[in-house]
Structure 1
Amino acid sequence: MKTMKFKPTLIAAACIAITACGGGSSNGTVSGAAADDTKTALAVIGGGTSTVLADGREVTLKMVSETRVNRNVYDYVYNIVLKNNATALTNGVATLTGAGNGTTVLKGTVPLGEVEASGTVSPYGTITLRHDRAVAFNAGALVWSVTNSTAPVNRLSIPTDVASAASKIANDPQVRALLDEQSTPAMTKYRWNTFLELVRVPSPSREEYRSAAEIHSRMVNEWGFSPSEVMTRNDGFLAGSDVNIVDGLPVYNACVQIKGSYSSRPDAQSYKGQFPKVVLEGHIDVVNPETQPPASDPWNHIKLQPYAQAVVETPAQLAAIPAELAFNTAGRIVEDANYNVASQWFANSTAAQNGGGVRIYVPGYIDMMSSTVNGFLLASAMKRHGIKPVYDIWVCGSAGEEGKGNLAGMKQLYGFEQDLGTGSNPLNVVANFGLEGGGILNFLGSYRYEMKFSAPTNPGPNQPSAVEAMAATIARIADVKTPDELRPGAPRTTYTVGRASCEPVPAGSTVVPSCSLEVDMRSPKVETLNEIRDVIVPLFQAGVTAENARVGVANGTPQGIGLQQMWYGLRPAYVATSYDSPATYAGLQSAIATGQSTSTTVSTGSSSINDNVPANTGIPTYQFSLNSTAAGAGTHAFWEWATRGNPATEVSKMHRVLTGILTVAGFHAADGTIVQPATGPIGRRTREAAR
C-alpha cells in the first residue's frame, strides 16, 4: 500500500451522524447542527479532498452529484483533478483501490491519458462511492494508484454503466416505435422531400437568414414544436449567449429544444440559471453561392444528369442541363417525372450507373444539408413519440462553418470570444455531437488573415507600388520555417499564401489602387499555432516598410503604401490528452448497441470542423452522420453532386444517434425507469460567462 499524507487545510471528516449532517445537501455543504471541531463540521464527502501519494502525485475530488439509496446510504459521484509529479504519463490511469469502513468503491477507475510532467489534468471520467452516513467518513483510508496503461491510447474501455444504458435505450419500445415509423414509405418520402425543399434554399456562409427562417417556420408549423421550444430567432439573436455578433454580423443559427426533466428536480444544478444541455448540430451554410442570388432568380436549381454524361466543368455547362426538379409557389417539391428519376435510390455508384441513376447537382447535398435536415426530422420524431430526456437536448442547424464563416454559429452557442481565444459555454452544454461524421477527436486550429495593401492617396512620380509591397511580403513569408522544421518532434505546422489579387487599374491611370493577400496558418496545438502567427504577422508590415523605403517615403504618410487587416479568422486548436469522455463512450457504444460496429478504437487523426470550438472550450465532442448517398463528389465546388442512397441507412443512423445522445443526456424509459445522464450537470469553460 502506498504511504499517503493529507493536506490539513483541505481535509475534514464527514459528519458522524445523520442528525449532524441535516440529511445532506445536493451541493455537498453541511446543514443542521454542526460539531465544534471544524475538522468534523466540514463534509469531505462534498469534495475538495486532496490525497498526496507517496510518489508526489496529488488527487483531488470534486463532487458531481449525490443520490440517496436509503435512509443512511448515499451514492456520491466525483470528478478528479490530478496534479502530476516529475514523471510524464503517456496513457495514465488513476484507480481508487480502497476506502474506509462504511464506504464502498462502486466505480474507481478514471482514464487520464497523456499528462505532462508536473502538469495538472481534469479528466472527464468519474468515480462513485457508496457511503453509510451513520459511519464517519475516513479520508485517510482512500487508497489511490496512478499508473501507465499498456493498452493503445486510442482503444477505449467502455464503462459498464454506459454499455448498459446504451443497450437499454437502443431496445426501448419508444425508440423502436420511432424507428418503425421512420421506416414507413410515407416517412421515407417525407424526409426526402423535406431535404430537397430545404437544400433548394440558398444559404451562403454568414447569409443563412433565408434557410434559418424557413427552418424556424417548419419547426412550429410542421414539426410539432411550440414557439417557446424554438431557441433561436430570425434576427440572429440567441438568448443566454454572451456572443451574438461575430465579425460584426448577426449569427443565423436555427435551434430547437427537447425539454428534459432535470430542471424540475429539487437537487438540480445550473450554471448562472442555465440547466445542462446536450447539443446535436449540423451546419446549414454552404460555400456556393458565395452571396444570396438576386430576387429575379432566388433559388438553387437542382439539376439532374445521367451518369453516361461527363461531370460538368463550368457553371455554364451546369446551367445548360435541361432536367431539373420543379417546386410550386409554396416551395414544395412537384412529384413529376424528373422527381421520380431523382428519387430512385441505389446501394453504390456502380448500381446507380447500371440502374439509371442520375447525378443530382445542388450545393450542400453532401456538405451537409442531408445530415442536418435529418437531424431536425429526428427531433420532430422525438417530440411526436414523447421521447423524454433527463437533460435538455438542443438540435441545431449552425451558421458559418464554411468559407469565411469563421465558425460563427458555434462561437455563438459556446460564447467563444475570438479576441480572447476563450469560450464561456454560457448555455451550459455538457456534450456536443456533430453531424459531419468521422468520429474526430483532435482538431486542427487555424489563423486566417486577409490583408489589403493600398496605393498612396496622393499619387505622384516615383511612388511605391501596392503590387510590390504585396510581393515583398510574400517573399518574406516564403522564407519562414515552421516549428516542426526548426525543432524535430514539434507538432506539424503549415502555412499557405493563398489568394493574391489586385484591383484593376482605373481608366486614365497607371496605378494599381490596391492588392489583397490571404494567408492561412494551421497547427493542431495552440502553442505552435501562436508561434507561427507571431513570426508571420509582422511580415505584412515588413513588406510595406520595405516598399516604402525603396522610394524613400515614410510609413503612415499619404505618400506611402497603407496596410489594413480586412478579415481575421480563427478556428481554435485542440489536441485530446485523453480520448476517454462521455461523448466518446456514447459515440462508440451507440454503434455497438445498435449492431453497427464492434470497435472501441477511435481515430487519432485531426480535422477542422465545427467541433473545434466546443472541444477547445472543454466540452466533450463526437460526430455522427445521418445522410445516405450512393455516390457523390464536388464538395465545396459549384458542381457538388450526389445520388440518393438507401433510406434504410438513414433510419439505422438515426437509431445510433438517438442512442448516443440519450446515453449522455439520460432517458425516461418505457418501463418507468430512468437512465441517468452519463456526465455531470455543469459543463466546462475556459472563461466565465459575461452576465
Structure 2
Amino acid sequence: MKARSSLSLTLIAAASLTACGGGGDGSTTAAGSSAGGTATALAAVGAEGASVNVDGREISLVKVSETRVSRTVFDYVYNIVVKNNGTALTNGVAELTGAGAGTTVLRGLVPLGAVDANATATPFGTITIRHDRSLPFNVSAMAWSVTNSAAPAYRATIPTEVAAAAAKISADPQIKALLDDQSTPAAAKSRWNQFLELVRIPSPSREEYRSAAEIHRRLVNEWGFSPSEVMTRADGHVEGTDVNIVDGQPVYNACVMIKGSYSSRPDAQHYKGQYPKVLMEGHIDVVNPETQPPASDPWNHIKLQPYSQAVVETPAQLAAIPTELSFDSSNRIIENSEYILASQWFTNTTAAQNGGGVRIYVPGYGDMMSSTSNGFALAAAMKKHNIKPVYDIWICGTAGEEGKGNLAGMKQLYGFDQALGTGSNPLNFVANFGLEGGGIINFLGSYRFEMRFTTPASPGPNRPSAAEAMASAIAKIADVKTPHELRPGAPRTTYTVGRASCQPVPEGGTEPPSCSLEVDMRSPQVATLNEIRAVIEPMFQAGVSAENARYGRTDGSAEAVGLQLDWYGLRPAYVAQSVDNPAVHAGLQSGIATGASTTITVGTGSSSLNDNVPANTGVPTWQFGLGSSAGGGGGHAFWEWGTRGNPATEVSRMHRALTGILTVSGFHAADGTIVPPSAGPIGRRTREVVR
C-alpha cells in the first residue's frame, strides 16, 4: 500500500471561507488511518498541492476510505487533525459546511472536545464528502468553522448510524435466539457452576497459570472452539505482540477469537499484517492469596455463612466456618445441600437477609471472576449461535490487574513498553471493552517504586545504616509539595509512603541486611505525574547519600549504604479529550437500544483499571458488567464475599455488551445485510511496532 500522508489546509484568502456555526448532521465514529495507508485527502479528489486554513488553525485530512457511487461519483471518508491556534477550546467542534461545485458534504461535523492552545487534536470523528470526478475539485470553496459547543462537555454526540446499528443488532433474531438460550434455567445453572469452578482456582497476580490453563482447556473441550481460535499459550506467549515478558515474568492471559469476515475482503486494510480487532476482557487475577498455595491444599475453600452471623474479622474465623462447597476430583461442583443453599438468588441484600441467603466467601467473587466467567459464557454462546462479526473479536481473561500485577496482561496485548511509556498496539485493536462496569473514560495514573537500601559489607557501630538511610529518604519525601499544592487548579496529585520494612537482624549482628520502602504516586494526568516523580525519585538516593556523608563514606563503596530498585510499577494516566469515540458511542447507545439506560452523558470521574493501558495508547475504551450479585463486600481482602443475584440480570447485561461490541466490530445480520463497523480498521498507538 502507499505510504500514509496528509495535507494541511492553510487559509490563503479568508474571503473564500464562510464562518458558519452550528448545524450539521452529527459526528461519525472513529476511523483509523492505515499505516502505510492512504493517499492524501485532497489528492484523492484531484487537489494535490492546494492550501487553506481557519482562523490560524490548521486542519489536515487523512483518507479513511473511498466508495464508488456511480461511474464518476465517489464518497470519501476522512479523519481530521486540527492544530489549534493560541485560543484553547473547552468543547470544540469542527465543521465543514461547504466544498464547492461537484462536491457535497454528507457529514461535516466532528466533535473535538478540550484542546489546549497550540495543541493538536486527533478526534475519532470523520467527515464524508461526495465528489463528482468529472468536475475539478475547488479547494478554495472548502468552508470550515471551529467553535466551542454549548452542549455539556461530557455529553456524547451519537451518530445516527450508530444508533441505527445498535437498534438493529439488539433486535436481530440471532441475538434473540442467543439470549433466549441463555435465559433458560439450564443455562443459568451452567453459568453459576462454571463461575464456582473457576473462582475456586487460586489465581494470585502474576501466578494465574492455573486459571489460564483451565480456561484454555474448557475453550477447546467444552466451549466449542478449535485450538487455532485460542490466541494465547500455556507458556504465556501471544503471537504478534512485541511485549511477552513484563517485569521479567511470563504473562498468563487466556484469549479466544470470534473470527470476523473483514480479513477476507479484497480491500481489507491491516497494520503490519494485523487486521482490526475488538477486545472484550476481564481480569482473572486476585489480591489474595498472594502466592499459589501448597500442593497439599491447592484450592480456595468456598465458605458459606448465614447473614444472621457477623462478617468474619480474621483468617482464623473464616477457616473455622464449617459449611463450604464441595468439588470432585475433576474440579466439578458437587450438587449437595450446601450447593442448593449457595445457589439461591436474590434481588438485593435485604431480600437475602430475610430469605435465608448466605455470604459466599471466596477471593475474586466480585472482583472479578463473576463478570469474567460470564464473558467466556458469552463467547461460547456466540460460537454456538454462529454470531458473525465483521472485525475479529477477542475475549480475554487478563493477568496482572491486581496488586503488583502492573497491568501485565494489558501491557502484553497492547505492546506497552514501561521504559518508554508507550504502546505499539501490535495486534491492531480498534476498541477495548472491559468487564468491570462503570463506563469510566478517565484513568488515574500511578508510579510505584519499591526501593531497597542495603547495609555496607561490614556493618557495625559508627557505620552507615540502611535503616537510617531509609528514614532519611522518608523525611525528605515528606517535605515534597505536590503540583496541586504548589499551583491551585493543577490536577490533584498525591503520593504515599507505603510499607517500610527491614530484614531481621542476623544473630550476633547489629544491623538488618537491608530495608525496603514502597512509594506510590498518583495523578490523572501524565504531566503532573511525571512532575511529582521528578521530585520524589531523587530523594531515594538523597537519603542514601546523606547517611553515607554522615560517616564520611563515598556512595558506591563497599563501606557505604547502597540502593537498588526492586520493583517499578506503572499505570499510565489518561484524561479523555473528547467523549466522542466508537467505544463510548457503542457503550451509551447499547444501553439505550436494550432499555438498560437512557443517558448519553459520561461521568467525569477517574479510576484505575485495565483500561489505563489501551486509553493511554490511544484505543477508545468502555466498560460493561456481566455479573449479578445481591450483595457483597471485602474486595481485595481475605474475607471477600458475595451472594448470588438474579440470573436474568446477567442475560440483560449480556444483551447490552453484545450489542455494544458488535456495533463497533460490525455484524452479519439475520436478514443478510451487514452492519458496518463503527470504527475504522486501523487502531491508534503511541509507538510503531518493529517487525
Fold-level similarity (TM above 0.5): yes
State the 1:552 CA deviation: 2.3
- The secondary structure found in structure 2 opposite 1:395 is strand
Letter of the 2:232 partner, please give it.
Answer: T
Letter of the 1:672 partner, please give it.
Answer: G
Q: Determine the C-alpha separation between the residues in 2 that align with 1:553 and 1:28.
A: 62
Q: Deviations over 1:458-503 (max 9, x none)?
A: 1243122211111111111000000111111111100000001111
Q: Do the aligned partners of residues 545 and 687 (structure 1) sit closer, same or farther apart at CA in structure 2, a change above 3 Å counting?
A: same
Q: Determine the C-alpha separation between the residues in 2 that align with 1:316 and 1:160.
A: 58
Do structure 1's residue 43 and structure 2's residue 53 form an aligned pair? no
CA contact (8 A) 1:46 1:63 kept: no
- The secondary structure found in structure 2 opposite 1:474 is helix
Q: Deviations over 1:516-535 (max 9, x none)?
A: 10000001111111110010
* TM value normalised by structure 1: 0.94
State the 1:508 CA deviation: 2.0
State the 1:511 CA deviation: 1.7
Q: Deviations over 1:73-99 (max 9, x none)?
A: 322211100111111110000111112
CA contact (8 A) 1:325 1:334 kept: yes
Q: Deviations over 1:427-457 (max 9, x none)?
A: 0110001011111111111000001111111
Do structure 1's residue 120 and structure 2's residue 116 form an aligned pair? no
State the 1:320 CA deviation: 0.8
Q: Do the aligned partners of residues 515 and 49 (structure 1) sit closer, same or farther apart at CA in structure 2, a change above 3 Å counting?
A: farther
Q: Determine the C-alpha separation between the residues in 1 that align with 2:605 and 2:39.
A: 43
- The secondary structure found in structure 2 opposite 1:104 is strand
State the 1:413 CA deviation: 0.3
Do structure 1's residue 270 and structure 2's residue 277 form an aligned pair? no
CA contact (8 A) 1:47 1:62 kept: no
Q: Determine the C-alpha separation between the residues in 2 that align with 1:121 and 1:6.
A: 24
Do structure 1's residue 651 and structure 2's residue 651 form an aligned pair? yes
- The secondary structure found in structure 2 opposite 1:174 is helix
Structure 1 partner of 2:29: none
Structure 1 partner of 2:481: 481
Letter of the 1:137 partner, please give it.
Answer: F
CA contact (8 A) 1:428 1:683 kept: yes
Structure 1 partner of 2:497: 497
CA contact (8 A) 2:170 2:659 kept: yes
Do structure 1's residue 543 and structure 2's residue 543 form an aligned pair? yes
Q: Determine the C-alpha separation between the residues in 2 that align with 1:552 and 1:577.
A: 52
CA contact (8 A) 1:303 1:324 kept: yes
Structure 2 partner of 1:5: 12
Q: Map 1:114-193; keep pairs closer than 5 Å.
A: 114-193=114-193
Q: Determine the C-alpha separation between the residues in 2 that align with 1:690 and 1:211.
A: 32
Structure 2 partner of 1:18: none
Structure 1 partner of 2:53: 52
CA contact (8 A) 1:433 1:624 kept: yes
State the 1:3 CA deviation: 11
State the 1:43 CA deviation: 2.6
State the 1:118 CA deviation: 1.3
Q: Determine the C-alpha separation between the residues in 2 that align with 1:688 and 1:541.
A: 34
Structure 1 partner of 2:18: none
CA contact (8 A) 1:28 1:43 kept: no
Do structure 1's residue 423 and structure 2's residue 423 form an aligned pair? yes
CA contact (8 A) 2:464 2:548 kept: yes
Q: Deviations over 1:339-373 (max 9, x none)?
A: 00000000000000000000000000100011111
- The secondary structure found in structure 2 opposite 1:488 is coil
Q: Determine the C-alpha separation between the residues in 2 that align with 1:380 and 1:65.
A: 34
State the 1:665 CA deviation: 0.5
Q: Do the aligned partners of residues 246 and 310 (structure 1) sit closer, same or farther apart at CA in structure 2, a change above 3 Å counting?
A: same
CA contact (8 A) 1:103 1:132 kept: yes
Q: Determine the C-alpha separation between the residues in 2 that align with 1:223 and 1:306.
A: 34
Q: Determine the C-alpha separation between the residues in 1 that align with 2:288 and 2:38.
A: 53
State the 1:135 CA deviation: 2.8
Q: Deviations over 1:580-620 (max 9, x none)?
A: 11110000000000001110110110011100000000001
Q: Determine the C-alpha separation between the residues in 1 that align with 2:410 and 2:202.
A: 20
Q: Map 1:278-427; keep pairs closer than 5 Å.
A: 278-427=278-427
Structure 1 partner of 2:6: none
Q: Deviations over 1:297-326 (max 9, x none)?
A: 001111000001111111111111111110
Q: Map 1:506-521; keep pairs closer than 5 Å.
A: 506-521=506-521
> Which ranges of structure 1 fall in alignment gaps of 5 or more residues?
8-25, 31-38
Q: Do the aligned partners of residues 443 and 47 (structure 1) sit closer, same or farther apart at CA in structure 2, a change above 3 Å counting?
A: farther
Structure 1 partner of 2:572: 572
Structure 2 partner of 1:528: 528
Q: Determine the C-alpha separation between the residues in 1 that align with 2:515 and 2:244.
A: 32
Q: Do the aligned partners of residues 355 and 409 (structure 1) sit closer, same or farther apart at CA in structure 2, a change above 3 Å counting?
A: same
CA contact (8 A) 2:10 2:52 kept: no
Q: Deviations over 1:33-70 (max 9, x none)?
A: xxxxxx99x434799976412x1112111111122333
CA contact (8 A) 2:12 2:51 kept: no
Q: Deviations over 1:641-687 (max 9, x none)?
A: 00000000000000000000000110111001111010110001111
Letter of the 2:123 partner, please give it.
Answer: P
Percent identity (aligned): 75
Q: Determine the C-alpha separation between the residues in 1 that align with 2:37 and 2:281.
A: 31
State the 1:107 CA deviation: 1.4
Structure 1 partner of 2:21: none
Structure 1 partner of 2:260: 260
Q: Determine the C-alpha separation between the residues in 2 that align with 1:45 and 1:115.
A: 31
Letter of the 1:5 partner, please give it.
Answer: I
Structure 2 partner of 1:605: 605
CA contact (8 A) 1:205 1:405 kept: yes
CA contact (8 A) 1:525 1:574 kept: yes
Q: How many residue pairs get matched?
A: 662
Structure 2 partner of 1:436: 436
Q: Determine the C-alpha separation between the residues in 2 that align with 1:45 and 1:530.
A: 46
Q: Determine the C-alpha separation between the residues in 2 that align with 1:6 and 1:254.
A: 57
* TM value normalised by structure 2: 0.94
Letter of the 1:285 partner, please give it.
Answer: D
Structure 1 partner of 2:3: none
Q: Determine the C-alpha separation between the residues in 1 that align with 2:503 and 2:294.
A: 24
Letter of the 1:423 partner, please give it.
Answer: G
Q: Deviations over 1:536-569 (max 9, x none)?
A: 0111011111111222222112211111110000
CA contact (8 A) 1:347 1:645 kept: yes
CA contact (8 A) 1:50 1:60 kept: no
CA contact (8 A) 2:411 2:417 kept: yes
CA contact (8 A) 1:431 1:621 kept: yes
State the 1:6 CA deviation: 8.4
Aligned Cα RMSD in Å?
A: 1.8
State the 1:578 CA deviation: 0.9
Q: Do the aligned partners of residues 443 and 50 (structure 1) sit closer, same or farther apart at CA in structure 2, a change above 3 Å counting?
A: farther
Q: Map 1:4-83; keep pairs closer than 5 Å.
A: 4-5=11-12, 29=39, 42-44=43-45, 51-53=52-54, 55-83=55-83
- The secondary structure found in structure 2 opposite 1:43 is helix
Letter of the 1:633 partner, please give it.
Answer: G
- The secondary structure found in structure 2 opposite 1:161 is helix
Q: Deviations over 1:395-448 (max 9, x none)?
A: 011100000000000000000000000000000110001011111111111000
Structure 1 partner of 2:87: 87
- The secondary structure found in structure 2 opposite 1:5 is coil
Structure 1 partner of 2:468: 468
CA contact (8 A) 1:288 1:636 kept: yes
> Which ranges of structure 2 fall in alignment gaps of 5 or more residues?
1-8, 15-35
Q: Determine the C-alpha separation between the residues in 2 that align with 1:74 and 1:204.
A: 55
Q: Deviations over 1:181-206 (max 9, x none)?
A: 00001100000000000001111000
CA contact (8 A) 1:183 1:651 kept: yes
CA contact (8 A) 2:460 2:511 kept: no
Letter of the 1:632 partner, please give it.
Answer: G
Q: Determine the C-alpha separation between the residues in 1 that align with 2:562 and 2:189.
A: 57
Q: Determine the C-alpha separation between the residues in 1 that align with 2:255 and 2:46.
A: 39
Structure 1 partner of 2:683: 683
CA contact (8 A) 1:47 1:61 kept: no
- The secondary structure found in structure 1 opposite 2:176 is helix
Q: Determine the C-alpha separation between the residues in 1 that align with 2:345 and 2:38.
A: 57
